[in-house]
Amino acid sequence: MIGKEIRLARIIDRNTGKTVIVPMDHGVSAGPIRGISDIKKAMAQVADGGANAIVVHKGLVARGHRKSGSDMGLIIHLSGSTSLSPEPNAKTLVCSVEEAIKLGADGVSVHVNIGSGREKDMLADLGRIAERASEWGIPLLAMIYPRGEKIRDEYDPEAIKHAARLGAELGADVVKVSYTGGPETFREVVEGCHVPVIIAGGPKMESDRAVLEMVKGAMEAGAAGTSIGRNVFQHPNPTRMVAALAMIVHQGASVEKALEFLHHNGGGTNETNHTWREERVAA
């Protein structure tokens, strides 16, 4: 499985074993939302900040291919639904593993909502994709959320523990779940899952501090990194926000240090990238 190891190293930092992923797959569910309408610009901003990988749907690969600048891993999302659907929690496959490989993917991802009335179909899709991904040696990221008719609280630690374990049990190489709200409960999520666990960003948060404190708590609990979308690409300075996240994820920096860096002089894309890389070398 050397192919999978090589591809994983393009998604997860080979030195730290951690990752900063920026999902930009929101257009299928929500349309052309702010921050990713110009996908090439959005990709360039997060790449310059030091993102390890992005998640996009297949139609954005050619549009976002920059042909220059900082490199990062490509994860192609295989499932989707729209907010206009009578069943928005029911995800369906819209791309195959083979098509993703032809497009140059380093990994693929699948979204499953447990507790939904269509849960059995999404689980069947996840199982089939895990089989194909294993056959081709391509990493699989499973995004598992407790959402649906039977779910009262999608942030309930017990439900999230179940979600993470389910992804690992069905063959995912990395599992993405929501943060439980505290490092003590999230540690139980990590301990109950035998593959790396990364946290989702959720809705747009009220402050930079809230985002960074969530990430710090998750890392203290043993998380393998982040997969934060709107709180990155809708930030006034996405490049610097990614770099601040990377300071916490890869360097173990404090929230205060990351905030100081994030807000120092505002910063531009090139200046931000240069400053962060200098600080990383010095750390």
DSSP the chain: -HHHHHHHHHHS-TTTS-EEEEE--HHHHH-S-TTSSSHHHHHHHHHHHT-SEEEE-GGGHHHH--SSS---EEEEE-EE--TTSS-TT--EE-S-HHHHHHTT-SEEEEEEEETSTTHHHHHHHHHHHHHHHHHHT--EEEEEEE-STT-S-TT-HHHHHHHHHHHHHTT-SEEEE---SSHHHHHHHHHT-SS-EEEE--SPPS-HHHHHHHHHHHHHTT--EEE--HHHHTSSSHHHHHHHHHHHHHH---HHHHHHHHHTT---HHHHHHHHHHHHHH-
Average pLDDT over residues 186-212: 94
Q: Which amino acid is at 193?
A: C
Average pLDDT over residues 11-25: 97
pLDDT at site 44: 96
Which of 200-209, 218-227, 239-248 shows the lowest mean pLDDT across its residues? 200-209
Structural domain range at position 150: 2-282
Percent of the chain clearing pLDDT 70 (strictly above): 93
pLDDT at site 280: 37
| Beta bridge mates, 227 | 21, 200
Q: Note the Cα 163 to chain centre separation in Å.
A: 16
Average pLDDT, the chain: 92
| Angle subtended at Cα 3 by Cα 73 and Cα 79, rounded to the nearest 5 degrees | 55
Count up the domains in the chain and report the number.
Answer: 1
> Is the pLDDT score of 267 beyond 70?
no
pLDDT at site 273: 39
Q: Which amino acid is at 74?
A: L
> Is the pLDDT score of 268 beyond 90?
no
pLDDT band at 260 (very low <50, low <70, confident <90, very high): very high
- What tens digit of pLDDT does each residue of 63-113 get? 999 888 889 999 999 999 999 999 999 999 999 999 999 999 999 999 999
Among candidate residues 120, 76, 81, 118, the one with its CA nearest the CA of residue 95:
76
| Beta bridge mates, 21 | 53, 227
pLDDT at site 104: 97
Residue 184: give its domain's CATH number: 3.20.20.70
| Active site positions, annotated | 25, 145, 176
Token pair 């447990």 is at which residue? 114
pLDDT band at 272 (very low <50, low <70, confident <90, very high): very low
- What tens digit of pLDDT does each residue of 140-162 get? 999 999 998 889 999 999 999 99
> Is the pLDDT score of 271 beyond 50?
no
Percent of the chain clearing pLDDT 90 (strictly above): 87
pLDDT at site 206: 84
CA 256 – CA 48 distance, rounded (Å): 22
pLDDT at site 132: 98
Average pLDDT over residues 55-59: 98
